[in-house]
Amino acid sequence: MTSSTTAPSTTAPKFEYDILIIGSGAAGLTLALRTADFARVAVLSKGDLNQGATFYAQGGIAAVLDEADSINSHIEDTLSTGVGLCHADMVEYIVENSAKAVSWLVDQGVPFTKKSASSDAPVTANADPVFRDLSSLHLTQEGGHSHRRIIHASDATGKAVFETLQARAQAHPGIDLIEGCTAVDLVTQAQQGAPAPVCVGAYVLNQQTGAVQLIKSKFVALATGGASKAYLYTTNPDGASGDGIAMAWRAGCRVANMEFNQFHPTCLFHPHAKSFLISEALRGEGARLELPDGSRFMQNFDSREELAPRDIVARAIDHEMKRLGCDCIYLNISHKPAEFVRKHFPTIHSRCLEFGIDITTQRIPVVPAAHYTCGGIMVNQRSETDIANLYAIGETSFTGLHGANRMASNSLLECFVLAFAAAEDIQSKIGRTAQSSHIEPWDESRVTDSEDEVLVSHNWDELRRCMWDFVGIVRNNERLRRAEKRIELLQQEVQDYYIKHRVTNDMLELRNLVLVSGLIISCALQRKESRGLHFTLDYPQLDDEAQDTILEPK
């Protein structure tokens, strides 16, 4: 459960809401808070509320607040990092609204780190009273950014944002926060006057009772995060199984650019660390990447060295590890004063100490790990999907912001700005949107309890190893075709299992992840070039024309 000291988060789900939000991270909670004054809202989490990726985000939120910085500079950095695939109109829209998003978060009470009075050293701000002078916020720098523009709360920004928004949502009478419920599928329905089916709710598994119930809703928003659990090694929490992308695809939504899977360059390499991420902000403050012998290598790959975009850094590390046959490389910030390191990175310092690594005096062993899904459900600037009354926000969506490679700390910014836009759009429609009168209940009359759950765990392991080995940082057609054949067999096995047995959370996650893995491979096979996060040995060159890879359900 969350470490928040407020009242318990859970409540029993009702059967009807105005807005059903599937996902309890930054995107979902923001949408809930922006709509709860005019709507009855449910926020659904399949685990504890704090099990989403937001809670574990270390870095921060990119926004233009410094006089030396500019909107144009942030836009240019994003477009450059995205290697020609960013949608310029979406980049401009999100960046232009960055200060508005940060101002709202400050008003909510997020305890961002402030500059000290005497120096640039960070001092965590007291959220009561809330400080509103954005110029007082401490800014750091990360890969791809040409200026210091990362607002943060020490090195645990996601935790600070999540706990603040959760406390606000718990206190709001118009919001139900519901844990332990897994969305099975969206419900769409033909309605009079609508040219295509409209989303009217979702079937939801109550993990405590094992029953699947129907929740009707005028609007549904998918804020379920990405699909990095498709890979054997990932920085993501266990719930990152591509649920929203899979549900939207089955309902008839297009997806785009699923081949662009970002691998974070620096994940702690330790048998008991369970993929603890080492924030890019360390490199922003001068940490160096080193080979086992202590020599640096990033200068051989990019003039920006350690501050090159993530795709370049991850490939460089992957190259050096394969060339040397070593298990990891090292991140070294021990040349900085010990007090500086402890003050800037208290969470990382403390966590590494648990594994016997004092980062003030020792190097940190690191490896790349799957981190972020840059593609997703296609949406417009109002977060609308192809299906009426269905929205997608955050990592589960494809807005065009990230292009072929996400720039650090743009993702949380996207969550807030697009949640604001979705809330405004819903408010403009809610007065003329009626609740669906009749939807068929969930039917499990022809299924039985499974007596062989090992099939789920076996296929889960096989899927993740297959994706890591054949659809990883460096690809080729032979590997992708091999993965495609195996994923097709897994999809059939999972579907056969699904139609015969009562659903469980593990089986639903596997069903979604197998589907999304197939979409990743399909997109990768269609791209006949190397661009950003998609690097293939068969097509190492960059095409002159940048095009999105769009898949449409048959």
Q: List active site positions.
A: 310
Cβ contact 129:113 at 8 Å: no
**For residue 553, cis peptide bond before it (omega within 30 degrees of 0):** no
| Alpha carbon distance 40, 27 (integer Å) | 17
Q: Is the dihedral of CA 544, 547, 549, 554 positive or negative?
A: negative
User: Is the distance from CB of 245 to CB of 519 less than 8 angstroms?
Assistant: yes
CA pair distance 520, 169, nearest whole angstrom: 35
The SS3 assignment for 140 reads strand
DSSP string, 405-429: SPPTTHHHHHHHHHHHHHHHHHHHH
Q: Tell me which amino acid residue 350 is.
A: S
DSSP sequence for 45-69: -SS-GGGSHHHH--S-EE---STT-
Query: Which residues make Cβ contacts (< 8 Å) with residue 499, sequence separation at least 6?
Result: 447
* Ordered alpha helix ranges (H), 216-328: 243-251, 281-284, 310-324
Would you state the structure tokens that stand for residue 241, as one six-digit string? 């199984």
Positive or negative, the Cα torsion across 167, 395, 330, 471? positive
